[in-house]
Amino acid sequence: MPKAEARAIRHGFPWVYGNELVLDRRTKNLAPGSFAVLEDANRTPMGVVTVNPESRIAARMMDMDPAAEIGPAWLRERLAVALAHRARLYEAPFYRLVHAEADRLPGLIVDRFGDIAVMQPNAAWTETMAEEIAAALVEIAGVTTVIKNGTSRGRALEGLAEETAVLVGTAPAAPVPVPMNGATYLADLMEGQKTGLFYDQRPNHAFAAGLARGGRVLDVFAHVGGFSLAALAAGAEAALAVDSSAPALALAGQGAEASGTAARFASRQGEAFAVMEALAAEGERFDLVVCDPPAFAPNKAALDKGLRAYERVARLAAPLVAEGGYLCCCSCSHAADLANFRAATARGIGKAGRRGQLIHTGFAGPDHPQLPQLAESGYLKSVVFRL
């Protein structure tokens, strides 16, 4: 591979794109998910990679040791390192256990829900070794059930089909209760979005909840009530959760029941932009408004359109914030960096005729470590303004 790209790999960048590789007849025929030794232009070994000729990311670095053997023992070692970090962070076993490249397990996501692990095999090697990964999770983490959730956008880019299956144990018969930030959330591990719950927002839920004590909260794009349930647990007077998904709002309601805050919780199903416009027309005002939309800019091609959408979110949300209240806007789009997202949000606030102080910037929790060389691993941003 070219010298510049080889230098980036040696400095920690984990991906090799197809146009950076020179393949001979034998390596061109490697099956997706195979392992090979990556060499630089001088044929010096650089490490073991997993190869997928069908993906734009043709190779992912597995181990900088060219002699490494990728098998059950290697998996157990990597999982043990990841588990040790989470065990220091959290007393209860509810967290992201594996965060892909940042945990040196490229393309693999694992979220833990007590004795259940939900894995997303988003790279070809994780699909071919899914059974071995499940066995290692049982041995190292002590889980009794492992669910494979193969519904992510990334799988299509790897040429992998959508599939959800139980690899170990039995599927939970009901949504799983998850204690977090003083509230109890209900996670649907078989039919819910992603792995069933978004652990990445945990610290942002906690910060926003501290602003909500004694006030009214609007939680837009609420999913299963991430921000609203945390706010109620922290002493908010009332919370209204808005989402287009009736099943998600039903789980939010069940979470409020389980948390003992159902009397102060309400929900409203509908398209977020339309609901915010309707609430403004009704003269509603809230002490804290939170908007946590899906990724509007999932890639660079969608960046301009996505930034306009984030601006529109802020423009519609700002009029709903009471004087002296707070607006929290979030983005999970890795293509929209913090500066662009913050600027789009500020434009929206200004176009709504409001002015704000930026008081806080948040990111994903420490169970979602970032790989400094890979911007995609630091996808989540949260900005909080006092208006």
For the chain, what are the domain ranges?
A: 3-63, 72-168, 176-386
Superfamily for 3-63? Answer: PUA domain (2.30.130.10)
Rounded to an integer, the average pLDDT of 351-365 is 98
pLDDT in tens, 231-258: 999 999 999 999 999 999 999 999 999 9
Q: How far apart are CA 143 and CA 156, in angstroms?
A: 28
Q: What is the per-residue pLDDT for 2?
A: 66
Phi, psi of 182 (to 5 degrees): 80, -5
Q: What is the per-residue pLDDT for 1?
A: 66
3-state secondary structure of 227: helix
Q: What is the per-residue pLDDT for 38?
A: 93
Q: What is the per-residue pLDDT for 12?
A: 92
Superfamily for 72-168? Answer: RNA methyltransferase domain (HRMD) like (3.30.750.80)
Q: Which residues of 36-65 are buried (b: 16+ CB within 10 A; e: fewer)?
A: eebebeeeeebbbbbbbbebebbbbbbbee
pLDDT in tens, 165-223: 999 999 999 999 999 999 999 999 998 888 889 999 999 999 999 999 999 999 999 99
Q: What fold characterizes domain 176-386?
A: Rossmann fold (3.40.50)
Catalytic residue among 291, 328, 330, 332: 332
Confidence of residue 157 (pLDDT cuts 50, 70, 90): confident
Whether 329 is catalytic: no
Q: What is the per-residue pLDDT for 375?
A: 87
Q: How far apart are CA 296 and CA 335, in angstroms?
A: 9
Reported as half-sphere exposure (CB side, CA atoms, 13 A), residue 48 has a value of: 17
pLDDT in tens, 293-322: 999 998 899 999 999 999 999 999 999 999
